[in-house]
């Protein structure tokens, strides 16, 4: 729910672009015109435009205007991008998600896990393994490690549904920053057991470290994706600094 004015304007313009009210290669109304439309200051309009640019919807051109560079994508594969839970992605892609919990353990970090996750040695953690299905096809083998001190009260039942939903709506913790890495790795026995990899023997592996609003890293996750259904997308802007 946007309450800030600039978020409302962002959302409104974004919808207009998606509905092709402003279409590809059009110029948006000038900033001063938008000031009149939304009765706000130019700064506020500019914040909204900055968000649109970051999301790859528009591009500002000095002296000319703000050009729309959004083109509707042919919703095919299951795409990821941004910080999004599996459930959220599934809904956005119009698919039915299902989660099977393979392991749910409460343990302490040993040397290997501390190294890998960046959590202090000996921290209390939840160690979770899950298989994610979309329309009955196993897509992802997920390994989630949560700091128990930051995410208390996690249960196997919650893991069957959405952990992010629990974190945000029950614990009221704000997820802010996520650092991600994408690699290609050879499959392990456990990958082969749960994902139907056929003649592939590799996976796309997304590891992420997520920080909450207190700047504490509370999560380390390794998402091991079936190569056929892995599609990551993002929009980058060139910084001249």
Partner DNA sequence: GCCGATTTGTCCGTATGTATC
Partner DNA sequence: CGATACATACGGACAAATCGG
Contacts to a copy of itself by CB under 8 A = 2, 7, 10-11, 25, 53-54, 56, 59, 61, 67-69, 71, 81-83, 118, 174-185, 200, 202-204, 211, 213-215, 217, 227-228, 230-241
DSSP assignments along 134-153, one per residue: ETTEEEEEEEEEEETTTSTT
Minimum distance of DNA from residue 217's CB (angstroms): 18
Query: What is the separation, in whole angstroms, between the first and last Cα of the chain?
Result: 34
Q: In this chain, which of 14, 40, 79, 98 binds DNA, going by CB under 7 A?
A: 40
Sequence-separated (6 or more) residues with CB below 8 Å from residue 220: 116, 117, 118, 119, 144, 145, 207, 208, 209, 210
Q: In this chain, which of 23, 25, 32, 188 binds DNA, going by CB under 7 A?
A: 32
Strand partners, 67: 27, 59
- Helices 5-18 and 31-38: crossing angle, nearest 10°? 110
DSSP assignments along 103-115, one per residue: EEEEEE--HHHHH
Q: Which does 95 bind (CB under 5 to 8 A by kind): DNA, a copy of itself, none?
A: none
Q: Which does 132 bind (CB under 5 to 8 A by kind): DNA, a copy of itself, none?
A: none
| Separation between Cα atoms, residue 193 and residue 233, nearest integer Å | 28
Minimum distance of DNA from residue 96's CB (angstroms): 34
Minimum distance of DNA from residue 42's CB (angstroms): 5
- Which residues sit at the interface with DNA, rule CB under 7 A? 4-7, 27-28, 30-33, 39-44, 46-47, 49, 60-66, 213
């Amino acid at each position: 729910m946007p309450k800030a004015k600039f978020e409302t304007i962002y959302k409104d313009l974004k919808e207009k672009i998606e509905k092709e009210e402003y279409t590809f290669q059009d110029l948006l109304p000038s900033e001063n015109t938008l000031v009149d439309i939304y009765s706000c200051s130019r700064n506020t309009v500019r914040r909204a435009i900055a968000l649109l640019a970051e999301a790859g919807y528009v591009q500002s051109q000095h002296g000319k205007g703000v050009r729309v560079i959004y083109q509707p994508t042919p919703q095919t594969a299951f795409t990821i991008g941004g910080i999004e839970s599996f459930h959220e992605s599934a809904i956005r892609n119009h698919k039915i998600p299902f989660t099977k919990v393979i392991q749910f353990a409460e343990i302490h970090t040993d040397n290997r896990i501390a190294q890998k996750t960046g959590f202090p040695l000996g921290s209390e953690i939840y160690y979770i393994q899950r298989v994610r299905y979309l329309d009955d096809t196993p897509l992802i083998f997920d390994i989630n490690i949560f700091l128990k001190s930051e995410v208390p009260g996690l249960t196997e039942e919650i893991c069957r549904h959405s952990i992010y939903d629990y974190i945000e709506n029950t614990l009221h913790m704000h997820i802010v920053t996520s650092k991600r890495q994408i690699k290609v790795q050879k499959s392990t026995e456990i990958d082969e057991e749960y994902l139907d990899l056929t003649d592939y023997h590799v996976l796309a592996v997304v590891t992420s470290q997520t920080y909450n609003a207190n700047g504490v890293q509370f999560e380390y996750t390794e998402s091991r994706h079936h190569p056929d259904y892995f599609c990551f997308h993002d929009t980058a802007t060139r910084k001249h600094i």
